[in-house]
């Protein structure tokens, strides 16, 4: 880590301790949305910027998500949503979005979400597209309903993909304030109720040309999908590391009988380290974007390790972990969210099976 990275790391840790950690229980138990933390990252200049190299953008984003996930994966997930949105705009080639909207996302004045859960499943043959678009003068009219889009609010925007016809799809960035767009909050999840997740109903929303990310969405998704996936991987890295640290702290309790549990922190730490190294190697690769198959395999391996780690964390901590607001129980719920975050484990396993047969499905 160079001096600049060290300075950024110190500043990030200070913001985590001051702005995030005092609110973690409120985020987890009361569904508090940690927007101020995300905005502060932007004000502090910690969010990746279009002035950075592609490798710096990816490695910096991975580091931000991992450090945040060590403290709170709900907040790290919100950060992932925001980084995904910045990726869409940065790669769009649309001068209006790049020059006028992207800087607002990078400095935290505006926050972004990703409405690509349904499209990613569509590209793997798991679902039909939820949104439809009709070409009109100077833009498109979009109708349909997205069942879950996270990291949304009044001054936010998010990416969407809509079907124009059987052979063509378009992608746009839509402000939450768009006329005809109705948001209904979802807050009955097992965990991550602070993720600001909404049902998004498009009732003839006019999407002007200046909001368009790509009029060839299929090709655009193929270009950004590995970055979309790469920024998810540190969600698991951070939660796994936090679970390991907790196991070390609890090992002396009850005459150290946790040493009889099969999964020990040393073993999990040994399994985590090479995965973490692979993540940062992918992020800093000169090959931009990272190779898709590598990202798929790593995302799957990290998720399985995270599930192992949080299960072991619950067992090592014992009775205190079973309290509703304990850190181990929060991490357990966070890990099950990660397993069901698009692409889910079953979706990833399908993609890995396609890889084994020589295909490249999304």
pLDDT digits (tens, 9 = 90+) for 80-119: 999 999 999 999 999 999 999 999 999 999 999 999 999 9
Helix H segments across the chain?
3-15, 24-30, 35-43, 54-71, 73-90, 95-96, 102-106, 117-123, 217-230, 233-250, 265-283, 292-317, 327-340, 345-356
Domain 3-110 falls in which CATH fold?
Answer: Butyryl-Coa Dehydrogenase, subunit A; domain 1 (1.10.540)
Tell me how far apart the alpha carbons of residues 200 and 144 are, in angstroms, rounded to a whole number.
8
**Residue spans per domain, the chain:** 3-110, 113-217, 220-356
Q: Phi/psi at 25 (nearest 5 deg)?
A: -65, -35
> Contact at 8 Å (CB) between 74 and 150?
no
Asked if residue 159 lies in contact with residue 115, where contact means CB atoms within 8 angstroms, the answer is yes
Per-residue pLDDT of the chain (362 residues; tens, 9 = 90+): 444 566 678 999 999 999 999 999 999 999 999 999 999 999 999 998 877 888 899 999 999 999 999 999 999 999 999 999 999 999 999 999 999 999 999 999 999 999 999 999 999 999 999 999 999 999 999 999 999 999 999 999 999 999 999 999 999 999 999 999 999 999 989 999 999 999 999 999 999 999 999 999 999 999 999 999 999 999 999 999 999 999 999 887 887 888 989 999 999 999 999 999 999 999 998 766 789 999 999 999 999 999 999 999 999 999 999 998 999 999 999 999 999 999 999 999 999 998 888 766 66
Total-model pTM: 0.95
pLDDT of residue 3: 40
> What class is the 220-356 domain?
mainly alpha
Query: What pLDDT score does 5 carry?
Result: 61
Check if 3-110 and 220-356 are the same fold.
no
The pLDDT of residue 289 is: 75
Task: Please tell me the predicted confidence (pLDDT) of residue 252.
Answer: 78
Alpha-carbon gap, residue 26 to 208, rounded angstroms:
38
The fold of the 113-217 domain, in CATH, is Butyryl-CoA Dehydrogenase, subunit A; domain 2 (2.40.110)
């Amino acid at each position: 880590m160079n001096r600049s990275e060290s300075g950024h790391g110190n500043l990030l840790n200070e913001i985590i301790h001051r702005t995030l950690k005092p609110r973690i229980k409120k985020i987890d138990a009361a569904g508090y949305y940690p927007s101020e933390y995300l905005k502060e990252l932007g004000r502090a200049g910690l969010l990746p910027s279009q002035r950075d190299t592609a490798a710096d953008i990816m490695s910096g984003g991975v580091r931000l998500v991992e450090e945040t996930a060590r403290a709170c994966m709900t907040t790290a997930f919100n950060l992932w949503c925001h980084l995904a949105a910045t990726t869409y705009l940065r790669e769009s080639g649309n001068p209006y979005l790049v020059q006028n909207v992207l800087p607002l996302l990078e400095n935290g004045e505006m926050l972004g979400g990703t409405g690509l859960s349904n499209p990613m499943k569509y590209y793997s043959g798991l679902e039909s597209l939820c949104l439809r678009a009709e070409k009109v003068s100077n833009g498109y009219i979009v109708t349909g309903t997205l069942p879950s889009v996270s990291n949304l609010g009044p001054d936010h925007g998010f990416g969407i993909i809509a079907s124009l016809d059987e052979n063509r799809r378009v992608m746009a960035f839509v402000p939450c304030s768009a006329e005809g767009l109705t948001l209904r909050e979802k807050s009955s999840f097992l965990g991550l109720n602070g993720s600001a997740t909404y049902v998004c109903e498009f009732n003839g929303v006019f999407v002007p040309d200046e909001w368009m990310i790509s009029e060839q969405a299929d090709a655009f998704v193929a270009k950004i999908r590995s970055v979309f996936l790469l920024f998810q991987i540190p969600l698991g890295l951070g939660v796994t590391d936090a679970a390991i640290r907790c196991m070390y702290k609890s090992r002396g309790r009850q005459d150290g009988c946790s040493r009889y549990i099969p999964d020990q922190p040393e073993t999990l730490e040994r399994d985590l380290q090479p995965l973490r190294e692979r993540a940062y190697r992918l992020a800093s690769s000169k090959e931009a974007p990272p190779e898709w198959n590598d990202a798929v395999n790593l995302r799957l391996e990290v998720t399985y390790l995270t599930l192992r780690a949080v299960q072991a964390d619950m067992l090592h901590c014992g009775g205190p972990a079973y309290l509703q607001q304990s850190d181990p129980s929060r991490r357990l719920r966070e890990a099950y969210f990660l397993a069901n975050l698009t692409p889910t484990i079953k979706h990833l396993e399908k993609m890995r099976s396609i890889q084994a047969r020589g295909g490249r499905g999304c």
